[in-house]
Amino acid sequence: RRGVPCWYLDPVDGTANLANGVPWNAFSLALVVDHEPVVAVVADPWRGDVFDARRGAGSRSNGHPLRLADVAPEGDPLRGRIVSTELANQHPWPGMLALLRRLGDRYCTMRIMGSGTLTLTGVAAGRGVGAVIGSFGAVDHLAAILIVQEAGGVVLGEDGSPTSFPASGGVLAAAPFAADALYAEWKASIAEEQPAG
């Protein structure tokens, strides 16, 4: 029903990491009204970081405001940068291997860390220039999406439209100066790996 608040909670995003002693997982909580996140908290217990955001009021890390640069650097906005992603369980998502190669051709490195929450939230914190998740999951990603948006980042659905809650497909988060270039590579990578038919 419209106007009804809904909480999305993931107490441990990155459970495989936790089960295997890899210190990279997070707590994620988002309050959503009408498919729009309005309040978000992400906690990284291993580094003692707490990220939060409120719609229209900005994002913070441990109480300090987060703001992404919107000025484009000289040259290729992806060159020499890092883009993060996550596996679809234990497998690459459709287009991921093509994206890895395409980014590599631009001297941009891809990282897979094991927590979609921290992968997206990292964009707001300036940990890399962007992130692409092959399949959006509301519980895992909504809090991080609001934190990125309120830090001035761009969030796009697989169709290239700005979004807070993709209806289907994946999600991209990026610094403003890199969003168009990263989206173009993502779109081309998905098309490249689609079966001929």
Tokens at 151, concatenated? 């830090």
Query: How far is the C-alpha of 68 from the C-alpha of 176, rounded, in Å?
Result: 8
φ and ψ at 3, to 5 degrees?
A: 80, 0
Q: In this predicted structure, what is the pLDDT of residue 123?
A: 98
CA angle (87 as vertex; 132, 82 as ends), nearest 5: 45
C-alpha to C-alpha distances, 173 to 80, 107, 127, 155, nearest whole angstrom: 18, 19, 12, 4
Residues in the chain: 197
Is the pTM for the entire model greater than 0.85?
yes
Instruction: Give the pLDDT score at 196.
Output: 64
Phi, psi of 71 (to 5 degrees): -95, 125
* Domains delineated in the chain: 1-197 (3.40.190.80)
How far apart are alpha carbons 72 and 4 in whole angstroms? 40
Question: Per-residue pLDDT for the chain (197 aa), expressed as one digit of tens each?
Answer: 788 999 999 999 999 999 999 999 999 999 999 999 999 999 999 999 999 999 999 999 999 999 998 777 789 999 999 999 999 989 999 999 999 999 999 999 999 999 999 999 999 999 999 999 999 999 999 999 999 999 999 999 999 999 999 999 999 999 999 999 999 999 999 999 776 65
Tokens 């990578």: give the residue: 189
CA 74, CA 8: separation in Å to the nearest integer? 40
pLDDT of 197 reads 58
| Bridge partners for 110 per DSSP | 83
| Upper half-sphere CA count for residue 14 (Cβ side, 13 Å) | 27
